[in-house]
Chain A
């Protein structure tokens, strides 16, 4: 994913995913093998007719190695569920990787747009554009009252899941997350973090998404999420300013130490790496360190993951080998950018 976009100091990425099914076929979990093959053929045919899909690449899951699939999962381009579907799953991918379409995941189609920063409306427009194109060729399963029909009733209606990946170091350091994240879940938003031992959120990364998909329009869902998140962004920025006023030297020290470890450590777990990248990112966002940028930080966040690491190395690595390979790759990326 490219860097850039609004509020990118707090919002790492915006993602919109829409679930769609073809009326005449059973949903993938119940469809027989030959039906799932027909779904693949139909989708290939439908998208093949459209000029806009010409630039897309087509990846049957059967043609990908486990490592390739794992790194696609780590880049959020496919779900673990699709990665596990080796025979009938496929991915359509736009060259910039901002649009990915999963075929035969939980639903026949999952159209996804990922953009950097806070760009939910733009992501919805992008995903909606490809939805319209496919819809002109395919009869979607749609009910007048219940909207788009999906395999899981939690997606019925709009089939829309909008989510934001947030970096909230200041709120987490100042222990305000419990209150704020609690409030988010009360207004119908789901909040997930990466939890380490205990309940510490690793890397200060939190994902927020809508839970309601029926009874609100896409625009309402997205504007609700955006307006709630803009308050979280405001609070995070205030907390950062406060920290900067009181603990400037400590924050700068933390960021520079993180950079030092990322450059010179010899063995590193992914948990440690994610935490250090977070410290470095905060230092950069506060103007305390200038030798990195968001593009590099985003790249680091992906390359430290097991699948990407092994794919870059070109062979399978066990955990110990990954912990040695990881800092080597981080060092290379840091040196390349300087």
Chain B
């Protein structure tokens, strides 16, 4: 394993530090370990989040009997295997999210405030994404109406959903949208 500080020398020193019941790990070469007291003062979290995530991932797999059931799981686009990912905690390309979605979802739920993006949207697909968000909401509403046997109101929602869906064309933009 390479030193996490210089990424050049072989790491020979393993530092485990615990504060407030949290453990952090660091693998360093001798040179960097010696210099550490001065190099440590960085604004950027150097090792916490990846290690934390990879740790979470390993723990999850370890506790999960199905862990051995996806040995062949691999991203078709970049070739990263799920086993590799769970070691390093980093994905290889934007397709990895689709390939590992089922495995990632429970973890995303653990570290984030849910599983759906509510922030900024790139301008060129903005209208489409806003329509899709609206469709999702309408579908939920519609199901609720059906459960409550309010079929006429549900039908109105269904028509609105169809209308929105028709406006979204496959190219990622929306009919009549001028950019």
Q: Given A23-B94, A153-B91, A165-B43, is A135 in contact with B123 using a C-beta cutoff of 8 Å?
A: yes
Tally B residues with Cβ within 8 Å of A: 55
* A160 close to B119 (CB less than 8 A): yes
14 new A-B contacts, CB < 8 A, other than A135-B123, A142-B122, are: A26-B77, A26-B92, A30-B92, A144-B128, A144-B132, A146-B115, A148-B117, A149-B91, A153-B108, A195-B40, A217-B118, A217-B119, A269-B37, A306-B38
Considering the complex, which residues of chain A in the window 132-188 have a beta carbon less than 8 Å from any beta carbon of chain B? 132, 135-136, 139-154, 156-158, 160, 163, 165, 178, 181-182, 185, 188
Q: A73-B42, A214-B112 are in contact. Are A147 and B90 (CB under 8 A)?
A: no
Residues of A with C-beta under 8 A to B46? 79-81
Which residues on A are within 8 Å of B, measured CB to CB? Answer: 15, 21, 23, 25-27, 29-30, 73-74, 76, 79-81, 84, 106, 128, 131-132, 135-136, 139-154, 156-158, 160, 163, 165, 178, 181-182, 185, 188, 190, 192, 194-196, 199, 202, 207, 209, 211-218, 220-221, 269-271, 274, 305-306, 319, 322
- Of B39, B91, B113, which is within 8 A of A152 by CB? B91
Report, nearest first, the 3 A-B pairs whose CB atoms are least far apart: A147-B117, A215-B114, A215-B113
Structural contact, B118 and A154, CB atoms closer than 8 A: no
Please name the residue on chain B nearest to A213 by beta carbon. Answer: B112
A291 → chain B, closest Cβ, in Å? 26
Q: Is the CB of B67 closer than 8 A to any CB of chain A?
A: no
Whether the Cβ atoms of B117 and A157 lie closer than 8 Å is yes
Task: Report the minimum CB–CB distance from A250 to chain B (whole Å).
Answer: 27
Interface-central residue, A131, A146, A178, A192, by most chain B CB under 10 Å:
A146
Contacts of B88 in A (CB 8 A): 29
Ordered by A's residue number, 28 sampled pairs between the chains whose C-beta atoms are within 8 Å are A25-B93, A74-B41, A76-B43, A80-B46, A128-B120, A135-B122, A136-B123, A142-B122, A144-B117, A144-B132, A145-B116, A146-B115, A147-B117, A147-B120, A148-B120, A149-B91, A151-B91, A152-B50, A154-B53, A156-B97, A158-B117, A185-B20, A212-B113, A214-B114, A214-B115, A215-B116, A215-B118, A216-B113
